[in-house]
Amino acid sequence: MESPFLARRLAASARRFNAFSNHSSNRLSQRTPKCRRWYSEQGPDGRPARPEKSKVVLPKTRVAIGVVFIGSLIYSMRTGNVTQTEAPSIAERDTLTKRESGITSSSPMRLRMEQLIKTKQQEIVDAISKADGTKFQIDRWDRPHGGGGVTCVLQDGNVFEKGGVNTSVVYGTLPRAAIQKMRVNHKALDPDVESLEFFAAGLSLVLHPKNPMCPTVHLNYRYFETVNADGSPNAWWFGGGTDLTPSYLFDEDVIHFHRTIKDACDRHDRGYYQRFKAWCDDYFFVKHRGESRGVGGIFFDDLDETEKDQEALFSFVTDCADAFLPSYLPILDKRRDMPYTEKEKAWQQLRRGRYVEFNLVHDRGTAFGLNTPGARVESILMSLPLTARWEYMHEPPKGGKEERLLNVLKTPTEWV
């Protein structure tokens, strides 16, 4: 038994075929006078002549064409090879919107977030390149199903051993299993759909200085959205944060870093800094080592309409991103040219090893990236240092600066 859908498609196709055939017949009759039949206006008795039934033009040809057309259609529909006009994807719609009208304050949030991360990337790349005296390698890439990114990497510079400032924009489809899992934190997601289109955009940054007196720093701000078929958001949330990872501890540096971030948080909610600092201390704790990756900062995830409205959260993320350069550049300027020994460099390499362990074992962003179909591995792993070191059963000197750092990493400190 044919399905109602198939029956409707066949009926519609038949109508199109008849229209096509009539059009073809008219054109053929104009070009082939033999096939016309002319009638006199009056009959023999003077009365108007009764018109004869029109003769079908090229009947065998019409039947042959119809058999081939309908037969091909039935076969195509049964085998799933029907050429259908599908609705444009969200990626295609967004591309058209950007080309026709650009991005404004009334544009969808996903486009505004994309604009934000690209603007901040350029600002940070320019500032770090100026501080180092070395240009970044710029690598632009596209995703086959929508989106792409810009990977900016600096290696073997004058100040930085390795630095990466990346933006990525990803369009894709979430299967039902992933939707069910995400509903734990986002009840707005529809549990009854088989799949949803999604959009993800983020700015990520890691800088590994050469001088062990100068700290490594990390930043990531991102936006995730699931999208209905008409392009409207189904569910959305923001995430991100920034943190500092020194090899040698200078309290004034850490205080400056935290104070700058706290100022950005306080402009939006007086409770944000303390709440997100605690979240950061917990998130960056390396469980198998029993110590934190660094001296913290802020971290948050899944901030959606249950937290604040979308505009308020976008403004908060914007201010946090703006705070990065003021929080880090003064530390860089103060420590970049300090003298150091080979032993201090070796200690930095050991701390880099701990950094690698966290990123590969615990980091959610790394796991999400590597598990995303079509992931660009080079961009995901750009956060890893150029060099690192692991020593068996290493113990720092008692009472030294290295031991003091370890003690701080085992117990979170209130810096401001």
Using an 8 Å Cβ cutoff, are 160 and 208 in contact? yes
Rg (CA), the chain: 33
Using an 8 Å Cβ cutoff, are 32 and 55 in contact? no
Place of tokens 């703006």: 322
For 364, the enclosing helix (H) or strand (E) is helix 364-370
At residue 189, φ and ψ (nearest 5 deg) are -65, 135
Cα separation, 294 vs 348, whole angstroms = 12
403 CB-side CA count, 13 A: 6
List C-alpha distances in Å: 7 to 2, 27, 77, 149: 7, 30, 11, 45
190 CB-side CA count, 13 A: 16
Cα separation, 344 vs 335, whole angstroms = 14
Cα separation, 214 vs 220, whole angstroms = 20
Quick one: which of 398, 300, 402 has its CA closest to 343? Answer: 402
Cα separation, 266 vs 270, whole angstroms = 5
Torsion of CA 334, 336, 342, 346, to 10 degrees: 100
At residue 277, φ and ψ (nearest 5 deg) are -65, -45
At residue 238, φ and ψ (nearest 5 deg) are -110, 155
Any catalytic annotation for residue 258? no
Cα separation, 353 vs 349, whole angstroms = 6
Give the three-state DSSP class for 399.
coil
Q: Give me the catalytic one of 145, 186, 208, 218.
A: 218
According to DSSP, the β-strands at 285-286 and 233-245 are: unpaired
Catalytic residue positions?
Answer: 218
